[in-house]
Chain A
Amino acid sequence: MNDDAQQKKGLTRRNFLKSAGGVAAVAGMAAGGLAAGVREGSAAAGSMPKKWDGTYDVVIIGSGFAGLAAAMEAKNAGASAVVIEKMAVHGGNSIINGGDFCAPGTRLQKEAGVQDSPDLMYNDMMKAGLYLNHPELARTLADQAKDALEWCENYVGAKFTRLNFHGGHSVKRANQTVNASGSELVNKMLAKTRALGVAVQTRTKMERMIADKDGRIVGIEVKTGYRFPDEKSGKTAYIKARKAVILTSGGFSNDVPLRRIEDPRLTEKFESTNQPGATGEALLAACLAGAMDVQMDWIQLGPWTSPDEKGFGNVPLFCERLVGYGPMIDPAKGKRFFKETGNRKERADAIILLGHPVIIMGDSYAVPKQVFPRALEKGLESGAVKKFDSLEALAKNYAMPVEAFKQEIARWNSFVEKKKDSDFDCMIFPDARPTVTPPFYAARLWPKVHHTMGGLVIDTNAQVFGFDLKPLKGLYAAGEVTGGVHGAVRLGGVAMADCVVFGRIAGKNAAKETAWG
Chain B
Amino acid sequence: MTGKHNIMRLPAAWFIVLGLVFAALLIYVGTPMAAPKQVKSAKPGDCAACHGQEKVFSPSHVDTKAMTYKDCLGCHEKAGPQKLEGKLPGSHIHQLGGITCVKCHESGQKEEEVAMDKCVVCHNADKLAEKTAKVKPENPHTSPHYGTTLDCNLCHHQHKKSENFCAQCHKYDFVVP
Q: 8 Å CB contacts to A: which residues of B37-72?
A: none
Smallest Cβ-Cβ distance to B138: which chain A residue: A378
Judging by beta carbons under 8 Å apart, are A311 and B170 in contact?
A: yes
- Whether A381 is near chain B, meaning CB under 8 Å from some CB there, is yes
- Whether A361 is near chain B, meaning CB under 8 Å from some CB there, is no
Binds B, one of A88-96, A145-153, A239-247, A398-406: A88-96
- Whether B144 is near chain A, meaning CB under 8 Å from some CB there, is yes
User: Bound state CA distance, A275 and B171, in angstroms?
Assistant: 14
Q: Could you say which residues of chain A place their CB within 8 Å of the CB of B169?
A: 96, 275-276, 310-312
User: Bound state CA distance, A89 and B171, in angstroms?
Assistant: 19
Q: 8 Å CB contacts to A: which residues of B124-177?
A: 136-137, 144-147, 150-151, 154, 168-171
Q: Could you say which residues of chain B place their CB within 8 Å of the CB of A463?
A: none
B145 touches which one: A91, A276, A310, A311 (CB < 8 A)? A91
Smallest Cβ-Cβ distance to A225: which chain B residue: B113
Q: Could you say which residues of chain A place their CB within 8 Å of the CB of B137?
A: 378, 381-382
Other than A88-B151, A183-B145, give 5 A-B pairs with Cβ distance below 8 A: A89-B154, A181-B145, A187-B146, A311-B170, A382-B137
- Whether A7 is near chain B, meaning CB under 8 Å from some CB there, is no
Smallest Cβ-Cβ distance to A381: which chain B residue: B137
Q: Nearest Cβ distance between residue B45 and chain A, in whole angstroms?
A: 33
Q: Nearest Cβ distance between residue A399 and chain B, in whole angstroms?
A: 24
Q: Nearest Cβ distance between residue B142 and chain A, in whole angstroms?
A: 12
Judging by beta carbons under 8 Å apart, are A181 and B144 in contact?
A: yes
- Whether A164 is near chain B, meaning CB under 8 Å from some CB there, is no
Smallest Cβ-Cβ distance to A180: which chain B residue: B144
A95 touches which one: B145, B151, B171 (CB < 8 A)? B145
Q: Are A95 and B168 CB-contacts (below 8 A) given A88-B151, A89-B154? A: no
User: Bound state CA distance, A76 and B158, in angstroms?
Assistant: 42
- Whether A179 is near chain B, meaning CB under 8 Å from some CB there, is yes
B137, B150, B151, B168 interface centre (most CB from chain A within 10 Å): B168
Q: Could you say which residues of chain A place their CB within 8 Å of the CB of B171?
A: 309-310, 382
Smallest Cβ-Cβ distance to B171: which chain A residue: A310
Count of chain A residues near B, Cβ 8 A: 18
Judging by beta carbons under 8 Å apart, are A179 and B168 in contact?
A: no
Subset of 17 A-B contacts with CB under 8 Å:
A88-B154, A89-B150, A89-B151, A91-B145, A91-B146, A95-B146, A181-B145, A183-B146, A187-B146, A187-B147, A275-B168, A276-B168, A276-B169, A309-B171, A310-B169, A381-B136, A381-B137
Q: 8 Å CB contacts to B: which residues of A287-310?
A: 309-310
Q: Could you say which residues of chain B place their CB within 8 Å of the CB of A88?
A: 151, 154
Q: Could you say which residues of chain B place their CB within 8 Å of the CB of A91?
A: 145-146
List 6 A-B pairs, minimum CB-CB distance, nearest first: A311-B169, A310-B171, A181-B144, A183-B145, A95-B145, A276-B168
Q: Could you say which residues of chain A place their CB within 8 Å of the CB of B150?
A: 89
Q: Are A96 and B151 CB-contacts (below 8 A) given A276-B168, A311-B170? A: no
- Identify the A interface with B (CB < 8 A): 88-89, 91, 95-96, 179, 181, 183, 187, 275-276, 309-312, 378, 381-382
Judging by beta carbons under 8 Å apart, are A310 and B170 in contact?
A: yes
B147, B169, B171 interface centre (most CB from chain A within 10 Å): B169
Q: Nearest Cβ distance between residue A449 and chain B, in whole angstroms?
A: 14
- Identify the B interface with A (CB < 8 A): 136-137, 144-147, 150-151, 154, 168-171
Judging by beta carbons under 8 Å apart, are B145 and A96 in contact?
A: yes
Q: Nearest Cβ distance between residue B176 and chain A, in whole angstroms?
A: 15
Q: Are A179 and B144 CB-contacts (below 8 A) given A96-B169, A275-B169, A310-B170? A: yes
Smallest Cβ-Cβ distance to B153: which chain A residue: A88
User: Bound state CA distance, A358 and B168, in angstroms?
Assistant: 26
Q: Nearest Cβ distance between residue A486 and chain B, in whole angstroms?
A: 24
Q: Are A183 and B170 CB-contacts (below 8 A) given A88-B154, A89-B154, A381-B137? A: no
B145, B154, B169 interface centre (most CB from chain A within 10 Å): B145
Q: Nearest Cβ distance between residue B145 and chain A, in whole angstroms?
A: 5
Q: Nearest Cβ distance between residue B94 and chain A, in whole angstroms?
A: 22
Q: Could you say which residues of chain B place their CB within 8 Å of the CB of A378?
A: 137
User: Bound state CA distance, A102 and B137, in angstroms?
Assistant: 32
User: Bound state CA distance, A181 and B144, in angstroms?
Assistant: 7
Q: Nearest Cβ distance between residue B149 and chain A, in whole angstroms?
A: 8
Judging by beta carbons under 8 Å apart, are B144 and A89 in contact?
A: no
Q: Nearest Cβ distance between residue A182 and chain B, in whole angstroms?
A: 9
Q: Nearest Cβ distance between residue A94 and chain B, in whole angstroms?
A: 10
Q: Nearest Cβ distance between residue B125 and chain A, in whole angstroms?
A: 15
User: Bound state CA distance, A310 and B170, in angstroms?
Assistant: 6
Q: Nearest Cβ distance between residue B156 and chain A, in whole angstroms?
A: 13
Q: Nearest Cβ distance between residue B174 and chain A, in whole angstroms?
A: 14
Q: Could you say which residues of chain A place their CB within 8 Å of the CB of B144?
A: 179, 181, 183
Q: Could you say which residues of chain B place their CB within 8 Å of the CB of A382?
A: 137, 171
Q: Could you say which residues of chain A place their CB within 8 Å of the CB of B145?
A: 91, 95-96, 181, 183
User: Bound state CA distance, A176 and B168, in angstroms?
Assistant: 25
Smallest Cβ-Cβ distance to A311: which chain B residue: B169
Q: Nearest Cβ distance between residue A164 and chain B, in whole angstroms?
A: 17
User: Bound state CA distance, A181 and B142, in angstroms?
Assistant: 14
User: Bound state CA distance, A96 and B166, in angstroms?
Assistant: 12
A187, A310, A381 interface centre (most CB from chain B within 10 Å): A310
Q: Could you say which residues of chain A place their CB within 8 Å of the CB of B136?
A: 381
User: Bound state CA distance, A187 and B144, in angstroms?
Assistant: 10
User: Bound state CA distance, A167 and B144, in angstroms?
Assistant: 25
Q: Nearest Cβ distance between residue A313 and chain B, in whole angstroms?
A: 8
User: Bound state CA distance, A96 and B170, in angstroms?
Assistant: 11
Smallest Cβ-Cβ distance to B150: which chain A residue: A89
Smallest Cβ-Cβ distance to A202: which chain B residue: B151
Smallest Cβ-Cβ distance to B147: which chain A residue: A187
User: Bound state CA distance, A158 and B79, in angstroms?
Assistant: 40
Q: Nearest Cβ distance between residue B76 and chain A, in whole angstroms?
A: 32
Q: Nearest Cβ distance between residue A376 and chain B, in whole angstroms?
A: 14
Q: Could you say which residues of chain A place their CB within 8 Å of the CB of B170?
A: 310-311
